[in-house]
């Protein structure tokens, strides 16, 4: 699949699976009361992580999705975020956990936290599978982080380049030839 486009496998399918279970256990321990947890998955990148995470979580959770997209090129984000699909429900009084695939510049999440906080949830935390080094520059409180990864362009397990590679079961680095040859 995608022959030659992936330079190296950064995180294997098994490593993802183990990490998802570990994060789910942590979250389960932290949320022991207050009704069903409300997971807010950020489309489209978080979709694989969201569904695996929800199934690994040993307690009931309800699933909601938001689709946001940052303007600009597909390999870097600009911080200008627009809502493509809003939540279907009121989250006031709910324990909300944002589920993200990756925090890169942190700008998407910073915007999202501000937006969701204004809707008065009982609590609001973030669970991300991946985090890049630049994310620390923006002051976003992230309670659950799967892997801190180097500043390389990664794809797979929900993460795309120009909408491709989301369906890979692992996370790999993209061969630069893919995005320098002009898609």
Binding site for Mn ion (CB under 5 A): 45
**Partner whose binding site includes residue 77, from ligand PRP, Mg ion, Mn ion, none (CB under 5 to 8 Å by kind):** ligand PRP
How far apart (Å, rounded) are the C-alpha atoms in residues 57 and 86? 24
Helix, strand, coil content of the chain in percent (nearest 5) = 25, 35, 40
User: Catalytic: which of 90, 101, 104, 175?
Assistant: 104
Angle at 30 between CA 24 and CA 34, to 5 degrees: 110
**Which one, of 37, 91, 34, lies nearest residue 59 by Cα?**
37
Residue 67: CB minimum distance to Mg ion, A: 11
Residue 70: CB minimum distance to ligand PRP, A: 5
5 catalytically annotated: no
Is the Cβ–Cβ distance between 154 and 137 less than 8 Å? Answer: no
- CA neighbours within 13 Å on the CB side: how many for 67? 4
Closest to ligand PRP by CB, 31 vs 125, is 125
How far apart (Å, rounded) are the C-alpha atoms in residues 27 and 41? 15
**Partner whose binding site includes residue 103, from Mg ion, ligand PRP, Mn ion, none (CB under 5 to 8 Å by kind):** ligand PRP
How far apart (Å, rounded) are the C-alpha atoms in residues 72 and 135? 18
Residue 59: CB minimum distance to ligand PRP, A: 25
Closest to ligand PRP by CB, 15 vs 77, is 77
Which residues lie near ligand PRP (CB under 6 A)? 42-45, 69-70, 77, 100-109, 160
Residue 7: CB minimum distance to Mn ion, A: 22
Rule CB under 5 A: is residue 43 a binding residue for Mg ion?
no
Closest to ligand PRP by CB, 31 vs 66, is 66
Q: Which of 15, 160, 170, 175 binds Mg ion (CB under 5 A)?
A: 160
Cα four-point dihedral sign 65, 69, 75, 76: negative
Is the Cβ–Cβ distance between 172 and 6 less than 8 Å? Answer: yes
**Partner whose binding site includes residue 172, from Mg ion, Mn ion, ligand PRP, none (CB under 5 to 8 Å by kind):** none
Which residues form the interface with Mg ion (CB under 5 A)?
A: 160
Which residues are the active-site residues? 104
């Amino acid at each position: 699949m995608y022959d030659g486009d992936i330079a190296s496998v950064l995180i294997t399918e098994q490593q993802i699976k183990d990490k998802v279970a570990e994060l789910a256990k942590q979250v389960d321990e932290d949320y022991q009361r207050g009704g069903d947890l409300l997971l807010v998955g950020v489309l489209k990148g978080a979709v694989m992580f969201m569904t695996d995470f929800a199934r690994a979580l040993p307690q009931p959770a309800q699933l909601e999705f938001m689709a946001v997209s940052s303007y600009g090129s597909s390999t870097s984000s600009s911080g200008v975020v627009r809502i493509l699909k809003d939540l279907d429900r009121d989250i006031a009084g709910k324990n909300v956990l944002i589920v993200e695939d990756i925090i890169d510049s942190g700008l998407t999440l910073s915007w999202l936290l501000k937006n969701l906080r204004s809707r008065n949830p009982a609590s609001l935390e973030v669970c991300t599978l991946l985090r890049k080094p630049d994310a620390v520059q923006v002051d976003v409180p992230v309670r659950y982080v799967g892997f801190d990864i180097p500043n390389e362009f990664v794809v797979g397990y929900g993460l795309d380049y120009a909408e491709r590679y989301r369906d890979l079961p692992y996370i790999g680095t993209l061969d630069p030839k893919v995005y320098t040859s002009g898609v």
